[in-house]
Amino acid sequence: MSEYIIQIDHVNKSFEKGSRTKDGTLREGVKVLDDVNINIKKGEFVTFLGPSGCGKTTLLRLIAGFLQPDEGRILMDGKDITNVPPYQRPLNTVFQRYALFPHLDVYDNIAFGLKLKGGMTEKEIDQRVRKVLKMVSMTDYEDRDVDSLSGGQQQRVAIARALVNQPKVLLLDEPLAALDLKMRKDMQIELKEMHQKLGITFIYVTHDQEEALTLSDTIVVIDEGRIQQIGKPKDIYDEPVNAFVANFIGESNILDGTMIEDKKVRFIDKEFDCVDEGFGENTPVDIVIRPEDIYITKKLEVAQFLGTVKSCTFKGVHYEMFVDTDDGYELMIQDYNAFDVGSKIGMIIKPTDIQVMHKFGKNIYEEKEYACNEIELLDNKEDGDLHGKIRSIIYKGNHYHIEVQTSDRKIFYVDTQEIWDKGDMVGIKFLNK
Ligand code: ADP
Ligand code: MG
Distances (CA, A) of 208 to 125, 204, 216, 250, 252: 36, 11, 12, 10, 16
Rounded Cα gap, residues 283 and 141, in angstroms: 63
User: Which residues are placed with Cβ below 5 angstroms of ligand 2, an ion?
Assistant: 57
| Domain 361-430: CATH class, spelled out | mainly beta
Q: What end-to-end distance do the CA atoms of the chain give, in Å?
A: 59
Phi, psi of 147 (to 5 degrees): -65, -25
Report the alpha-carbon distance of residue 320 to residue 332 in Å, rounded: 7
**Residue 22: what pLDDT?**
59
Which residues, at least 6 apart from 310, have a Cβ–Cβ distance to it below 8 Å? 321, 322, 323, 324, 330, 341
pLDDT of residue 2: 78
Task: Give the side-chain half-sphere CA count within 13 A for 272.
Answer: 28
- Best residue among 13, 15, 63 to mutate for probing ligand 1's pocket (most ligand atoms within 8 Å of CB) is 15
User: Is 4-238 a domain of CATH 3.40.50.300?
Assistant: yes
- CATH second-level architecture of 251-356? Beta Barrel (2.40)
From atom 26 of ligand 1, which residue's Cα is the shortest distance away? 15
Cα 49 to middle of ligand 1, angstroms: 15
For the CA of 48, the nearest atom of ligand 1: 3
Distance 60 CA to ligand 2 centre (A): 9
The secondary structure of the chain, three-state, reads CCCEEEEEEEEEEEECCCCECCCCCECCCEEEEEEEEEEEECCCEEEEECCCCCCHHHHHHHHHCCCCCCEEEEEECCEECCCCCHHHCCEEEECCCCCCCCCCEHHHHHHHHHHHHCCCCHHHHHHHHHHHHHHCCCHHHCCCEHHHCCHHHHHHHHHHHHHCCCCCEEEEECCCCCCCHHHHHHHHHHHHHHHHHHCCEEEEEECCHHHHHHHCCEEEEEECCEEEEEECHHHHHHCCCCHHHHHHCCCCEEEEEEEEECCEEEECCEEEECCCCCCCCCEEEEEEECHHHEEEECCHHHCCEEEEEEEEEECCCCEEEEEEECCCCEEEEEECCCCCCCCEEEEEECHHHCEEEECCCCEEECCEEECHHHEEEECCHHHCCEEEEEEEEEECCCCEEEEEEECCCCEEEEEECCCCCCCCEEEEEECCC
The domain limits of the chain are 4-238, 251-356, 361-430
Residues whose CB falls within 8 Å of the CB of residue 87, separated by 6 or more in sequence, listed in order = none
Residue 331: half-sphere exposure toward Cβ, Cα within 13 Å: 34
What local confidence, expressed as pLDDT, does residue 100 receive? 87
Same fold, 4-238 and 361-430: no
Q: Which residues contact 313 (CB under 8 A, 6 or more apart)?
A: 319, 320, 321
* pLDDT at residue 35, as a whole number: 96
How many Å lie between the centroid of ligand 2 and the Cα of residue 206?
8
The CB of 54 under 6 Å from ligand 1? The reply is yes
CB neighbourhood size of 425 (10 A): 12
Decide if 207 contacts 49 (C-beta within 8 A): yes
Crossing angle of the two packed helices 151-163 and 122-135, in degrees rounded to 10: 130
Name which of 262, 258, 259, 236 is nearest 249 in CA terms: 236
Tell me which residue has its CA closest to atom 13 in ligand 1.
Answer: 53
In short, whether 53's Cβ falls inside 6 Å of ligand 1 is yes
156 lines ligand 1 (CB under 6 A): no
CA of 176 to the centre of ligand 2 (A): 12
pTM, two decimals, is: 0.82
CB count within 10 Å of CB 159 equals 25
Nearest CA to ligand 1 atom 7: 57
Q: What is the distance in A from the centroid of ligand 2 to the CA of 200? A: 22
- Residue whose CA is at the smallest distance from ligand 1 atom 18: 15
Interval between CA 89 and ligand 1 midpoint (Å): 23
Low-confidence ranges of the chain (pLDDT < 70): 1, 17-29, 98
Q: How far apart are CA 75 and CA 79, in angstroms?
A: 5
* Angle of the 181-198 helix axis to the 151-163 helix axis, nearest 10: 20
